[in-house]
Amino acid sequence: MSEKKIISEFVEKASMVSAIVHGVTGMEDALEKTIQICREKLPCENLMPADSNSSGKKNLAAPNMDEFHYGKLQMLCEKHGITLIKEGVRNFPGGIDMGVTMMDYGIAETGTLVLNSDSEETRLATMLCETHVAIVDKAHIRKTALEMSDELNEMTVKPSSYTAFITGASRTADIERVLALGVHGPLELHIMLIEGD
Amino acid sequence: MIEKKESLKEYKDRLDTALENDFLRTAMDNFAVAYRTSRRNAFSEMDVDAVIRDVAAVKADAVKNNEHLLDQFSKKAVENGIQVHMAETAKDANRIIAQIAEQTHSKKIVKSKSMTAEEIHLNQWLENEGIEVTETDLGEWIVQLRKEGPSHMVMPAIHLSRYQVADLFTDVTKVAQDAEIEKLVKVARRQLRKKYIEADMGITGANYVIAQTGTLGIATNEGNARLVSTLPRVHVALVGIDKLLPTIKEALTINRILPRNATGQAITSYVTWITGPSECKTAPEQKREMHIVFLDNGRKKMAQDPVFAQVLQCVRCGACANVCPVYRMVGGHQLGHIYIGAIGLITTYFFHGRQNAKHLVQNCTNCGACKAVCAGGIDLPKLIKEIHAKIQDEEGHPLKSLLLGKVLKNRKLFHTLLKTASIAQKPVTAGTPYLRHLPMIFSKEHNFRILPAITQKPFRDRFKTLYTPVKKPSCKIALFSGCVQDFVYPEQLEAAMKLFKQANVSVEFPFDQSCCGLPALMMGEKDAAKDVGLQNIKAFKKQGVDYIVTLCASCASHLKNHVPDLVKNYAPEDAAEFSEKVMVFSQFIRRIIGIDHIKPTTFPRKTAFHSPCHLCRGLGIANDPKKVIAQSGHDYIKTDEEETCCGFGGSFSANFPSVSKEILNKKLMDVENSGADLLVTECPGCVMQLRGGALKKNQKIDVRHISEIIQS
């Protein structure tokens, strides 16, 4: 299967589970789109008003971004009045508007994203947010999970590791088998496909 | 969960109540229909049989190497800083977890869904210790609040309506809640978020336990297991030792099938791989305290058992319930104790005792739909019968099954009784071919179908006048009539004799043949089933024929699939030779004599086909009867429920008439909706059920055995 075909399968399968896939020209474009989505979304509904310090501003966590792009994101956030969080996501138990994470891999067969979540911040950023923006390099999209079992083995063999497969938003069909999104985690998942360096 | 002794009568009353629950019936039915399509779609890009074989092989290997894997995992986990505990019994597991809670000063616990925790009644135990336990899976939280158990392995609250959930949430929040699903889900989001934050300890199960790396794999849609294993400072995973696998490769192999088979999803929203103990910023040294409690609870013994070891190949997808015709009618609380569906009928005996299993295990039509979809490749119908027989051996056989066994073992006595019955029933048939009023052994609840009368002249007494030996035959067959055609529907065999004559087939009818033995096996009389199996093998051995042909799919499937196993310690070679030769009628026509002997009718009718369970699943035959119907000139119409059980199931319909009736109604409605006025099948038991039901309800559906619609 050609790389193009793998990517189109990934997009198709991810869209089937209501992920919103964006083609972007590069990392900077991805960050700008991210900010745009954050600005356009409704403010986060605080699930624990008594325990959260609400500044009235939207908040965005980006715990695993490299320094260079984190800087860029910080500039964008400042410009648009968004609070950017790198650490201490636990202090926002009532929820955050957005979590932005750099993903390790994509899996075409199921439209799945693979994320090294060893850090608590990464885990919480992707679970306590209402909107999760996942940025993944096209070159890191594999055909099936089984075909990348070596890579997965490498990730999971490390003591204290925590590896996540994420496919679409948090969902349930527990009441009358009707699909509802966002039961515990994100209500929306956006995927930004970037070209590798 | 209340543990009490329930009588068979009480169990049947519970079934009747469920059958009257309109919401439950509609919910179950919609699910059964929707599941079929979503499963088909989910597997559309793969060879489903091949991938299931892979999973079954992976699991079978893991069961065989269980001890080694447990050892390997434990070493690795300890190396990684995880505390590993081994619980021999349910009580031990509860005690260990309660102790961990005490040592870690955990007063509040959040849980993600775990059937293993349900198995040991963990919540109850912890609550008795004064600990607050909150289920976080939405469905599981709902049933916890209602003080019920789950009614499905992956959809715990499938038996409830949005209105019931709204009422429940109104009680919990003390605020009136709308019965809007989206809003109800938000109520759970808000209520449960607090619980995650406050919790000291998180308890999860695991779908996969990987020995090589000491990793747990957990699949959820809601993502609750990620929060449960991230926010609290202590993580306890409770896992059955049957979840052990060598490497992540095997886990990925299963994970490709599990969600597809469970709900028709390609993958769950989240699959979490924890090698732990993971970072936790509120814990000392920023590392979570992590424990793994391995549960044995009889699994080690089971792994050594030559018959039941395969039970451990279960991946807990719940598909065996999804396709079960009984589950579809009565729901999970009535078709399971803790574990639901076909696998529940088996594991209840091992995990929750004979008392909870003995009525449940009989509630099976033996249709084999579960076996056909089982991701672990488990022969569920066979094991259900094994448990049934085991319980009867332990508790003593009920009189009626004991009598049946004794009678069947003695062919002459059996046939004399049938002949006597044909005279004794005269007052109730009033000279018609039907029993107008049921004789005393049947109660009123059996009155949902009009049963045929026993013929005055069975086929065995007609054979000699029907058959003239042929010279230079095209092939030599011996006919296996089965009891129902011999004594109730001889005309079906007579119709077949015409075709045999036309095709110049030499036919023998061994008079020493008896019942195939399936009814005995269905009633848990394994020994009688073995005896008649041996009798039949002997009766057909002398004939020196090419094929043993039967017009009954149930007999054929039993003779082919069960008899060799039943007699394996007595006559393995004869049994192999015998079963090899067995063929069902349509298969024999199409593959041996050819369909050209059939002349097309000049009065074609709209014809639906009911595929007997023992034909499509027992023998794997789908096309042969349809080719025969096509050649007969009738217009075949495909119906949605063509391969769904008719609810007969031999003694099943006598034991659970109210369930049998509803399965039958469903079937006949499907045929009626198709516009067909002729319903063809290939098993006299199915004819009895379907024709009796159609007659009773005055439906204009003419039910025929396939031999009766062909002209030669």
User: Do residues B552 and B560 lie in contact, with contact meaning Cβ atoms separated by under 8 Å?
Assistant: no
Separation in Å, CA A89 to CA A31, A93, A165, B288, B472: 20, 8, 20, 17, 89
B80-300 CATH pick, 1.10.8.60, 3.40.50.10420, 3.40.1190.20, 3.40.980.10? 3.40.50.10420
Nearest to B247 by CA among B278, B208, B218: B208
Pairs of CB atoms within 8 A across A/B: 194
User: Do residues A191 and A14 lie in contact, with contact meaning Cβ atoms separated by under 8 Å?
Assistant: yes
Nearest to B147 by CA among B335, B356, B1: B1
CA distance B587 to B217: 46
Q: Is the dihedral of CA B40, B329, B386, B92 positive or negative?
A: positive
The pLDDT value given to residue B440: 47
Triad B334, B339, B345: Cα angle to 5°: 70
CA distance B60 to B54: 10
Residue range A170-179: mean pLDDT, rounded? 93
Mutate to test the interface with A, among B257, B269, B287 (most CBs of A within 10 A): B269
Domain boundaries, chain A: 3-46+56-194
Q: Does domain A3-46+56-194 have CATH number 3.40.50.10420?
A: yes
Helices B248-263 and B22-42: angle between axes, nearest 10 degrees: 130
Tracing tokens 């109850």 back to the chain, one arrives at B124
The pLDDT value given to residue A128: 97
Residue range A44-51: mean pLDDT, rounded? 86
What kind and span of H or E run contains B635? strand B635-637
Q: What is the DSSP letter of B189?
A: H
CA B562 to chain centre: 17
The alpha-carbon radius of gyration of chain B (Å, integer) is 28
Q: Is it true that the peptide bond before B600 is cis, omega within 30 degrees of 0?
A: no
| CA-based nearest residue in chain A for residue B45 | A109
User: Do residues B261 and B54 lie in contact, with contact meaning Cβ atoms separated by under 8 Å?
Assistant: no
Cβ contact A177–B158 (<8 Å): yes
- Which chain A residues are Cβ-neighbours of B189 within 8 angstroms? 47, 182-184
User: Do residues B361 and B382 lie in contact, with contact meaning Cβ atoms separated by under 8 Å?
Assistant: no
- CATH fold match for the domains B424-593 and B595-709: yes
In DSSP notation, chain A reads --HHHHHHHHHHHHHHTT-EEEE-SSHHHHHHHHHHHHHHSPPP--S-GGG----SSEEEE-TT--HHHHHHHHHHHHHHTEEEESS-GGG-TT-EEEEEEE-SEEETTTTEEEEE--SHHHHHHHHSEEEEEEEEEGGGEES-TGGGHHHHHHHHHSTT-EEEEE-SS-EE-TTTT--EE-SSS-SEEEEEEE---
Structure tokens belonging to residue A6 = 């793998």
ipTM over 0.90: yes
In the stretch 2-21 of chain A, residues with CB closer than 8 A to chain B read 13, 16-17
CA distance B214 to A153: 11
The pLDDT value given to residue B438: 55
Can you list the residues of chain B whose pLDDT is less than 50? 1-2, 440
Separation in Å, CA B78 to CA A118, B211, B273: 19, 12, 17
Query: Which residue from B79, B227, B229 is facing A184, i.e. has the nearest CB?
Result: B227
Mutate to test the interface with A, among B46, B221, B235, B249 (most CBs of A within 10 A): B221
What is the nearest CA distance from B303 to chain A, expressed in angstroms? 28
Task: Read off the pLDDT band of A152 (50, 70, 90).
Answer: very high
User: Do residues B678 and B702 lie in contact, with contact meaning Cβ atoms separated by under 8 Å?
Assistant: yes
- Which chain B residues are Cβ-neighbours of A94 within 8 angstroms? 193
Q: With 90 as the cut, is the pLDDT of residue A153 above it? A: yes
Structure tokens belonging to residue A181 = 């999104």
CA distance B107 to B111: 13
The pLDDT value given to residue B2: 46
Nearest to B271 by CA among B234, B217, B316: B217
The residue length of chain B stands at: 712
Separation in Å, CA A67 to CA A27, A37, A82, B351: 13, 22, 18, 55
B424-593 CATH pick, 3.20.20.70, 3.40.50.1110, 2.30.300.10, 3.40.50.1860? 3.40.50.1860
Triad B705, B711, B712: Cα angle to 5°: 125
Domain boundaries, chain B: 80-300, 424-593, 595-709
CA distance B597 to A135: 67
Exposure of B22 by Cβ count < 10 A (0-12 exposed, 13-18 middle, 19+ buried)? exposed
The 10s digit of each residue's pLDDT in B125-142 is 999 999 999 999 999 999
Ramachandran area for residue B291 (φ above 0: left; ψ -120 to 50: alpha; else beta): beta
- Which chain A residues are Cβ-neighbours of B275 within 8 angstroms? 156-163
- Which chain B residues are Cβ-neighbours of A183 within 8 angstroms? 138, 185, 188-189, 222-224
Q: What is the DSSP letter of B418?
A: H
The pLDDT value given to residue B437: 59
The 10s digit of each residue's pLDDT in A117-148 is 999 999 999 999 999 999 999 999 999 999 99
CA distance B448 to B689: 9
| CA-based nearest residue in chain A for residue B180 | A175
Query: Which residue from A111, A175, A184 is facing B224, i.e. has the nearest CB?
Result: A184
CA distance B702 to B700: 6
Structure tokens belonging to residue B362 = 């009989």
Which overall architecture, per CATH, does domain B595-709 show?
A: 3-Layer(aba) Sandwich (3.40)
CA distance B232 to B285: 14
Cβ contact B223–A177 (<8 Å): no
Separation in Å, CA B341 to CA B164, B322, B381: 24, 8, 11
The pLDDT value given to residue B441: 53
The pLDDT value given to residue B321: 97
